[in-house]
Structure 1
Amino acid sequence: MIEELSKYIPENSVTLVEEILVEHPLDIKIVRERATKHGDFKRSVHNKVQITINNNLNQYQFLLTLVHELAHFVTFEKNKRVKPHGIEWKRNFQHLMLPFLNPTIFPEDLLPLMANYLINPKASTGSDVNLTYALKRYDDNSGKSFIFELQHGSIFLFKNKTYKKGNIRRTRFECVEMKSKRTYLFNQNAEVETL
């Protein structure tokens, strides 16, 4: 398993990941991009567990997602039934992630943002706009932009539909779908294709 994972994570993190997987063996699948999530942790009725991670993530986002999902597994092993992103998961995620917060693994510009995120990690790294934006700089040029980067009134494509960016409402942007004229709310760091 570590041989396959080593293609997706920073070279200096491989040994640490291997140590976690020796202590907590489980099935990890690398899958095609999903628009709504970077990875997930699943358990069946018979308590079989599996982690899936998108194959299109840059090495730093991949590692962060892997450790996020491993924290779900560790939390499940220890506690069985708790809130998915409750205090038990947060503690396990922090504990697993701390050894990786190292300039030999993550670029120095990401380290303070990641340390800040780990103070009180959320269900998605996407909830931290600064961290998401910094991680995105390490992506291959995908032709996508964050919606907060677009000018007011910009036209963009999302899931094969065309939208016009409108006003911000607290943390989300009101965007009008051009064909139906219905208004939808977009998270400020939603990735869209500009037209």
Structure 2
Amino acid sequence: MKKERPFSELIPFLPEGTFDSVVPYFQDHTIHLTLTRERKSVLGDYRNPSRDTPYHRITVNATLHPYSFLITLLHELAHMLVFIRFGNKVMPHGSEWKNQFKEMLIPYIGKKFFPNDIEQALLRYIQNPKASTCTDTNLYKTLYRYNRTDDLKTLVESLDIGSIFRTEEGRLYKILEKRRTRYRCEDLQNGKMYLFPAIYEVIRVVKDE
């Protein structure tokens, strides 16, 4: 059985000064929050109560920096509030969720909780929130600047044409050309061509590697 932890353990994961505005969600609702290892395809998720688990379940990647962590947590809490109000009668990222998420983000704007560049990206983002911050290129790139990562990790778009990079799976690619929001790259092991999104995270290969 998982051990319950005090709310205060959330403080290091959140931007300074935001804990007091987040904790009421957990006081007003029965939520099991799980902090997980890094997941590339998802930053967080929400599961509504069921017969076997009669409580709200939220997971958030523990590796996120505080700004991404808060945005992701509010994203999932918005799902919870929409479920409480509408059940399963609305689309997961439909207008109900967009309005709820926007309503929850606005109080954090203009309070110095976020750096100016993130705040400006958020202001544009909340005009029409997407299903994931990863699908909003501008917001994703802005948040990425604050990632706690090693110096060799970068986005494909940050590399020059002709550069070589390595994926986490260990395969080597060479950037051949840019095609709008994607880059055509050659797999140096088999010579096949692949398209990588501009904001795909890779490991730069230095010349003596």
Matched position secondary structure for 1:165 = strand
Q: Is the 8 A contact 2:46 2:80 kept in 1?
A: yes
Q: Is the alpha carbon distance of 1:176 and 1:42 closer, same or farther for their aligned partners in structure 2, counting shifts above 3 Å?
A: farther
RMSD, matched Cα: 1.9
Alignment of 1:142-153 (within 5 A): 142-143=150-151, 144-153=153-162
Counterpart among 174, 187, 195 of residue 185 in structure 1: 195
Instruction: Tell me what 2:3 maps to.
Output: none
Equivalent position amino acid for 1:167 in 2? E
Shift of 1:77: 1.6
Matched position secondary structure for 2:111 = coil
Q: Greater Rg, structure 1 or structure 2?
A: 2
Which consecutive unaligned segments of at least 5 residues does structure 1 have?
none
Distance in 2 (alpha carbons) for counterparts of 1:190 and 1:29: 26
Equivalent position amino acid for 1:156 in 2? F
Alignment of 1:157-172 (within 5 A): 157-160=166-169, 161-172=171-182
Counterpart among 83, 87, 91 of residue 76 in structure 1: 83
- In the alignment, does 2:11 pair up with 1:3? no
Shift of 1:100: 1.4
Q: What's the TM-score, normalizing by structure 1?
A: 0.90
Shift of 1:179: 2.0
Alignment of 1:7-156 (within 5 A): 7-43=12-48, 45-46=50-51, 48-81=55-88, 82-143=90-151, 144-156=153-165
Q: Is the 8 A contact 2:168 2:203 kept in 1?
A: no
Equivalent position amino acid for 1:159 in 2? E
Q: Is the alpha carbon distance of 1:164 and 1:71 closer, same or farther for their aligned partners in structure 2, counting shifts above 3 Å?
A: same
Distance in 2 (alpha carbons) for counterparts of 1:68 and 1:110: 16
| Equivalences, count | 195
Distance in 2 (alpha carbons) for counterparts of 1:171 and 1:30: 32
Distance in 2 (alpha carbons) for counterparts of 1:167 and 1:83: 38
Shift of 1:64: 0.7
Which consecutive unaligned segments of at least 5 residues does structure 2 have?
1-5
Distance in 2 (alpha carbons) for counterparts of 1:126 and 1:25: 28
Q: Is the 8 A contact 1:155 1:194 kept in 2?
A: yes
